[in-house]
Each structure stands twice: as C-alpha cells, then as structure tokens.
Amino acid sequence: MKVLAINGSPRKKWNTATLLQNALDGAASTGAETELVHLYDLTYTGCTSCFACKQKGGKSYGKCAVQDGLTPVLEKIPDTDALILGSPLYFGTVTGMMRCFMERLMFPYLAYTNPPGSLYKKKIRTAFVYTMNVSEQQMKDFQYPVHTGLNEQVLGRTFGHAESLFSFETLQFEDYSKVVFSYFDPEERKERHRTVFPQDCKRAFELGARLGNAR
C-alpha cells in the first residue's frame, strides 16, 4: 500500500505540511508506505494545452507529455494506492503551484467521452486537506465551497473517491508583532492553535489511517 501526499504550500513545516504529515503518519500506522512531496521544491508549469495526452494512438495518450520537474511526481501516481493533496486557500482557491499540479495530474486522465470518463486504470481513495485564515462561517459566506466542492468532484470522477478536510483560522505568523495586522486578536489565534489545531491533526491522522486501510 503506497500513500502519496502533495504539499501545495510554500511552507514545509507549517499548517498544511503538518496536517499532511499527520495524515501520512496515520497511513503508516496501518503499514502503508508513505511519501510527502513539496511542490515548491520543483520547477514546472501548468498545462500547456498541447493536447498530446488526447491524440489517438499517440505515445503520450493518457499521460502528460510535458517534461519538467513535475514529471517524476506524475510518474509515481499510477503506482499509488491513495493520494492526499494539501493547500492553504489564498483568495478562496488553492495556491498557484497546486493548481498547476492539478491541471497536469488530472487533465491527461480526462476522457472526452459522453459522459466524460477517466483513463485512470484503477479506483483509489483521494483526499484534499485545506488550511485557511477564515472561520467556518466565513468560508461559507465567501463561497469557498464552490471551489473546494469542484475539486472534490473532479478528484472523485478521476480516481473514484474523494473527501475533504478543513482546518479553519490557522496561525499565520510566529510573531504577529512584526507585521501590520489588526484582522483579529493574535492571542486568540495562538490559543486556537494550541487547543484546536491538535484536534485537526488528529482528524488528519484518522483520515490517513482510513485511506491506508482502503485495500
């Protein structure tokens, strides 16, 4: 059992990465082999609309033809048994690096059939872990579920199963006194990080264990 996690945050040891590592720890507790990839370590682009992945009889049919720093990661996907994506939400959407990854990951598997189908050769469980500065109510007020719901739908259509985990009102800075900031009370946010974020980590661990057991 192989579980791959993709970190779409520029930070390697902050909220998103921490939740992803907890998810991998949960998967490892079931005996799964795990790996965490940091997208900001790589140099790559989004989809270039070359459509080589759609050409009949083409050598790149069903897979991305672009060769760059993302290629080795995409080549791991067919051997993966569960996939976990993670990203902070910036202006209501995932980071640019995560978006580029998603284009390169899922567009080659999209079959232009009626109805649209998937060229991925097996069913695997996938999940998306989101971190954000806003509260759960603000997420709804700002229409974030439109974006996150679409991501879940496309992941599910491509791979067969998808679920989402949300971590709200996360800690942005170690020292708020060094930045211009009056959006909320930093002390309240620190207290939330101390008391609530560990619960999010526990949920992430349980998520990973659930994916690791999906054999």
**168-195: b or e for each residue (b if 16 or more CB lie within 10 Å)?**
bbbbbeeebeeeeeeeeebeebeeebee
Evaluate if residue 99 carries a pLDDT over 70.
Answer: yes
pLDDT at 212: 85
Total domains, the chain:
1
Express each pLDDT in 117-149 by its tens digit.
Answer: 898 989 999 999 999 999 899 999 999 999 999
User: Which residue range(s) make up the domain with 59?
Assistant: 2-212
Q: What CATH number should be reported for the domain holding residue 30?
A: 3.40.50.360
Residue type, 119: L
Tell me the C-alpha distance between 190 and 192, whole Å: 5
Structure tokens at 191: 């207290």
Q: Which residue has the tokens 């349980």?
A: 206
Tell me the C-alpha distance between 98 and 87, whole Å: 7
Express each pLDDT in 33-84 by its tens digit.
Answer: 999 999 999 999 999 999 999 998 878 999 999 999 999 999 999 999 999 9
* Cis omega (within 30 of 0) for bond into 115: yes
Neighbours of 1 (CB within 10 A): 17
**14-33: b or e for each residue (b if 16 or more CB lie within 10 Å)?**
bbbbbbbbbbbbbbbebebe
